[in-house]
Amino acid sequence: MKKEDVTETQEEVFFPSPEIVEKALVKDYETLYRKSIENREQFWADEADKLDWFRKWDKVLDDSNKPFYQWYTGGKFNIVANAVDRHVKTWRRNKLALVWEGEPGDTKTYSYHALNREVCKFATVLKSMGVKKGEIVTIYMPQIPELPIAMLACAKLGAAHSVVYGGFSVEALATRIRDANSRVVITADGGYRRGKVVDLKGIVNEALIGAPTVEVCITIRRTGHAVAMESDRDFWFHDLMGLPIATTSCETEVMDAEDPLFILYTSGTTGQPKGLVHTHAGYAVYAATTLQYVFDLREEDRYWCTADPGWITGHSYLVYGPLLLGSTIMMYEGAPNHPYPNRWWQMIEKYGVTILYTSPTGIRGLMRFGEQWPKRHNLSWLRLLGSVGEPINPEAWRWYHRVIGGGRCPIMDTWWQTETGGFVITPLPITPLKPGSATRPFFGHEIAIVDDDGKELPVGQEGNLVLKAPWPGMARTIHGDPDRFKQTYWRQYEKQGWYKAGDSARKDKDGYFWVIGRTDDVIKVSGHRLGTAEIESALVSHPDVAEAAVIGLPHEVKGQAIYCFVILKHGKSGSKELEDKLKIHMDHQLGAIARPEKIDFLDTLPKTRSGKIMRRVLKARALGQDVGDISTLEE
Ligand code: PRX
């Protein structure tokens, strides 16, 4: 896109400064993009070559069993050999790997040497507990350094990890442990959030009642509050790490390129969450490549991704991506506005953060306190900003750009998903930006907006977002349910072999993509992906509830908020008191992130003749809109 085109159409476009262009890693998107499409496999081979392999691959892409694509087959690899081991062999041994601050203000820093030492020690401990290749360890922790250490220790041994977000509660955790069949759970006694202790170990203890596969639970002491420990199952992390068996060197397991690195649960259209499987090699290549090009990471950067490692953003761009590139990462345990709404801005100043990657909900949440809070701080180290998780509204974009970025930092609005492993639609620092658009496809991707039959739609028309070609960071399957993987993502465009993202979007005349939102029963609450079905089943598990329907409604800060419609069991009647009780019940079952904004009690729910709840009707009614065609509605 050229500047002249823009003045003609009066569009709001932000061009990068000559200084950014001059220093940028990629100065010409079009040429490299074309190359990456014309010879996709060569592009991904060149990128893979930048990492260390125990043995190079035989084949870059094996597409003989679509849609179960395989990458770098025949290769021997371990992500930890690249994220930690190779750095300690160079001067980076003395570089800061992690700068951490707890909510109460305590701090910890780890050089790559120290990170390696802790990972090795914990890996030997896990090994002594019998942890090995092929098993899935569940990790349920606050944002403390031991969380990435635990992830890396599992990966080092070749065990897959399943990190469950610390904001989830008993039932959500139990379901995920059961699905993963975990024998070992790693947790902490608690964490700090808004000055309060979150009793994680208490939640684990309750969840374990419903997860009988667990034999060992290792607990990190963070808050020091009293917790119940069972003598033959529970171990304190510090006790184990103090044993002579916890040694500072530990072999990194040689893995096949396609061996699983982790599973990460995400919500879909049924109540059962999907455990998406990501692999050691393809995922590592993809996370490192995308982060390098998009955030243009340099040796001297201090990079802060505010996401929790319990979500894919934390996996790819807090833990693995930046460590693969040998960067210094920043991590913070608590709430953005604790004790005051300047907490983040204070930390950016204090640690000299140069790149901030966060979510629109994070920005909106702090924007409402006014610009006097960031204005008190020197944010001049910042050079790049990022956004992820949901579309960023132009008002928040402009505030982020002007107030936080001082008008000089480009915003990388990155569109991607748990399934994609890394950025798919994203600007580069040199890309002219339009507030609210994630701009153009990343290298190697061909993206289209199509109708239900796969016909490409004209410029400006909204339709289904599809990815036409495989990429190394793609999820390989759903743990234990390959059929669901096929059905969910590949079935609709089977003939064409395209991946259906489940998002609705449009493309403008400059080839910029504008993502509108999900087309399925997934809602994004503060950027967190929640399935309406999982929320509904949590509601129905309350003894007074007969049936429930859940929709997402627009919310100023959260993006979307949870709105519930409930039919009570015979003889029960709705009241404010019951609404509050149900909210507490939801906190216990799923976690505070799934707490409904509002619960309405109804006598009937609008259903089709085949018994499907018409959420569209509920939504229109709640928004005071026309309910549209209701000819299929049951009498
Ligand atoms: O709807 C899109 C939205 O988040 C969904 C993926 O959610 P999850 O798997 O939790 O991953 C979030 C972090 C990568 C997408 O289907 N989404 C994510 N990023 C953006 C977005 N929508 C618009 N713009 C974005 N930048």
pLDDT attached to residue 611: 82
524 Cα nearest atom in ligand 1: 4
Mutation pick for ligand 1 pocket among 417, 489, 530 (CB with most ligand atoms within 8 Å):
417
Instruction: Flag the least confident range among 122-126, 177-181, 269-273, 557-561.
Output: 269-273
- Please work out whether the CB of residue 488 comes within 6 Å of at least one atom of ligand 1: no
Strands 559-568 and 545-555, sheet pairing: antiparallel
Average pLDDT over residues 306-318: 97
* Distance from Cα 528 to the centre of ligand 1, integer Å: 9
* Distance from Cα 83 to the centre of ligand 1, integer Å: 25
Average pLDDT over residues 43-65: 98
d(CA 205, CA 170): 9
Q: Return the CA Rg of the chain.
A: 24
pLDDT attached to residue 564: 96
- Please work out whether the CB of residue 308 comes within 6 Å of at least one atom of ligand 1: no
- Please work out whether the CB of residue 473 comes within 6 Å of at least one atom of ligand 1: no
Length of the chain as a residue count: 635
Helix, strand, coil percent content, the chain, rounded in steps of 5: 30, 25, 45
414 Cα nearest atom in ligand 1: 26
- In the three-class reduction of DSSP (H, G, I as helix; E, B as strand; rest coil), residue 465 is classed as strand
Instruction: Give the tens place of pLDDT for each residue, 343-353.
Output: 999 999 999 99
Average pLDDT over residues 84-99: 98
Greater pLDDT, 273 or 144: 144
Torsion-angle region of residue 78: left (phi > 0), alpha (psi -120 to 50) or beta? beta
d(CA 360, CA 200): 27
Nearest residue (CA) to ligand 1, atom 10:
529
* Distance from Cα 61 to the centre of ligand 1, integer Å: 26
* Distance from Cα 414 to the centre of ligand 1, integer Å: 8
pLDDT attached to residue 615: 87
pLDDT attached to residue 627: 79
Q: 7: pLDDT confidence band, cut at 50, 70 and 90?
A: low
Long-range Cβ contact pairs of 201-204 (< 8 A, separation 24 or more): 201/227, 201/228, 202/227, 202/228, 203/140, 203/169, 203/170, 203/173, 204/140, 204/173
Task: Indicate if the pLDDT at residue 9 is higher than 70.
Answer: no
Instruction: Give the tens place of pLDDT for each residue, 12-34.
Output: 999 999 999 999 999 999 999 99
Nearest residue (CA) to ligand 1, atom 24:
391
Instruction: Flag the least confident range among 3-7, 257-261, 609-613.
Output: 3-7
* Distance from Cα 558 to the centre of ligand 1, integer Å: 14
**Percent share of the chain, pLDDT over 70:** 98
Task: Indicate if the pLDDT at residue 630 is higher than 90.
Answer: no
Instruction: Give the tens place of pLDDT for each residue, 454-483.
Output: 999 999 999 999 999 999 999 999 999 999
pLDDT attached to residue 11: 76
CA angle at residue 489 from 486 to 490, to 5 degrees? 60
For residue 599, the surrounding DSSP H or E stretch is strand 598-601
Average pLDDT over residues 578-591: 94
Per-residue DSSP letter, 321: H
* Distance from Cα 387 to the centre of ligand 1, integer Å: 10
Instruction: Give the tens place of pLDDT for each residue, 244-277.
Output: 999 999 999 999 999 999 999 998 777 788 999 9
d(CA 454, CA 368): 42
Q: 427: pLDDT confidence band, cut at 50, 70 and 90?
A: very high
What type of residue is 10? Answer: Q
pLDDT attached to residue 625: 87
pLDDT attached to residue 219: 98
Average pLDDT over residues 513-519: 94
pLDDT attached to residue 546: 94
Q: 5: pLDDT confidence band, cut at 50, 70 and 90?
A: low
Task: Indicate if the pLDDT at residue 2 is higher than 80.
Answer: no
Average pLDDT over residues 149-176: 96
What type of residue is 313? Answer: T
Q: Which residue has the tokens 């690249």?
A: 82
Instruction: Flag the least confident range among 231-245, 387-401, 509-523, 612-626.
Output: 612-626
Tell the burial category of 518 from Cβ atoms under 10 Å away from its Cβ (0-12, 13-18, 19+). Answer: middle
438 Cα nearest atom in ligand 1: 26
Residue 602 tokens read as 């109804």
- Please work out whether the CB of residue 103 comes within 6 Å of at least one atom of ligand 1: no
Instruction: Give the tens place of pLDDT for each residue, 277-309.
Output: 999 999 999 999 999 999 999 999 999 999 999
Per DSSP, helices labelled H in 435-575 are 482-485, 532-540
Average pLDDT over residues 599-604: 93
